[in-house]
Amino acid sequence: MSSDSLIATFEQEVEKVLNHLHLEYSKLQTGRASAALVEHAMVDAYGQKQPLREVAGISISDARTIVIQPWDKSIMGNVEKAITVLDIGTSPVNDGMVIRINLPPMTEDRRKDMVKIVHQIAEESRISIRQQRQTAHDGIKDEEKDEDLRYSLLEKLDKAVKAANDKVEESMNKKEEEVMTV
């Protein structure tokens, strides 16, 4: 593997880390109803586990209400059970046709707890980026014999790491602001 391809691989891995970061942030409750809070719930349907978004329609009826309408009424109980397992701070209400989730208003303490979780997820992303950086760094040091080229590649890698960390920081600040907005 050439040294340039090590940096390209690093950038691809960073992109995966950032995508994972955004996915994790989308699952956090911010006081507003969002389909992302429940769409990843694994429902026991037709003999296998499937994501909720594949077995039901998910809609938002108002700022605090999520409405889930299973396409097959026979799995209504399983959908309700999968949502209960998510532990999003409220219980689903099954009226036989749809399942409603009424999100409670977020308290100041709950918001502060969410901010801690936001920071924790961001730190996990930074750790992943550092691990990817170390892999690329070791590869460049092992493969590149020309000292000048090695130095410039390591400098390029450090710039890519800084850019990735800046993106994590930006995402974290944006999510923190979203969580703290009443």
Q: What is the pLDDT along the chain (182 residues), one digit of tens a residue?
A: 566 788 889 999 999 999 999 888 877 766 677 777 788 888 888 888 988 888 888 888 887 888 989 888 888 888 888 888 877 777 888 888 888 988 877 778 878 888 888 999 999 999 999 999 999 999 888 887 888 888 888 999 999 999 999 999 999 999 888 888 76
Q: In 3D, which of 155, 165, 166 has the Cα closest to residue 3?
A: 155
- Residue 42 CA to residue 23 CA, distance in Å, equals 16
CATH topology of domain 3-27+107-180: Topoisomerase I; Chain A, domain 4 (1.10.132)
- pLDDT score at 134: 93
Can you say whether the dihedral through the CA atoms of 119, 124, 130, 133 is positive or negative? negative
Delimit the domains of the chain by residue range. 3-27+107-180, 35-102
CATH topology of domain 35-102: Gyrase A; domain 2 (3.30.1360)
3-state class of 48 per DSSP? Answer: strand
CB 22 within 8 A of CB 171: yes
- Residue 126 CA to residue 75 CA, distance in Å, equals 40
